[in-house]
Amino acid sequence: MPSCNAQELMICVAARLLEDNAMVVVGTGAPCAAAMLAQMTAAPGLTLMFEAGGVGPRLPRMPISVGDSRTFYQGLMATSMNDVMETCQRGLVDYTFLGGAQIDVYGNLNSTMIGGDYQHPRVRLPGSGGANDLGSLCRRILVLTPHDERRFVERVDFVTTPGYLDGPGAREAAGLPPGTGPYKVVTNLAVLGFDQESKQMCVEALHPGVSLEEVRANTGFELLASAELSETPPPSDEELRLLRTRVDPQGYIIGRG
């Protein structure tokens, strides 16, 4: 296995999940790096969308915000947040990358508060931004996050972005588009998906050198495992070369380890 850190591994694994000619809403940081790497490898026709209105750019460098001028470079459109959200609402967007301080067994995400009292939380977090809209309307939610039991909790303290809520049929009962919801969670330990019947999170692939017991020990709920549990293919030399020399040559993202 080529030498790489956890951040590089997560970005390479996430990039492989994005197929050619799909549409994905990304923010800055690791999700943007994954989308850029996907465009340079197996998904040259991948269309990137940014919340501030950039659609279909060919990013020359890593943008520092969703409104960075680079998010419009050689793009298909320079439009608005309203148009981007309307495109999601029309069911035309395949993927969105999201994250948060907590994620639970049904893929609900919390980026609002930690604690049991909304008015007096232990920690006040930034809130939704566009995460609730994107998680509600895009077809598949992708999550990139470190793996520890403080983040992976039985139930989030606040549902900022709906996953499968409290189980099968709950998204549809809440009025969200059928067939949408959490798809994959990529961490520094594993790739996790969601059981089709119970909608509960399950381990699908372990990263090289990681055991199922280690993943479960870092999860704050009973974690299912796929009957076809596999090992994540490590990043290739070419993926790492592109990531280090073209996607993030300054090491703003991958330098975080």
Residue positions annotated with a catalytic role: 51
Copy the structure tokens of residue 109.
């995400």
Cα angle: 72, vertex 78, 81; to 5 degrees: 105
CA distance 212 to 207: 10
Distance CA 130, CA 219 (A): 27
- Give one DSSP letter per residue of 194-256, joined into a string: E-TTT--EEEEEEPTT--HHHHHHT-BSPPEEEEEEEEPPPPPHHHHHHIIIII-TT-TTGGG
Would you call 137 helix, strand, or coil by DSSP? helix
User: Angle at which helices 6-16 and 30-40 pack, to 10 degrees?
Assistant: 50
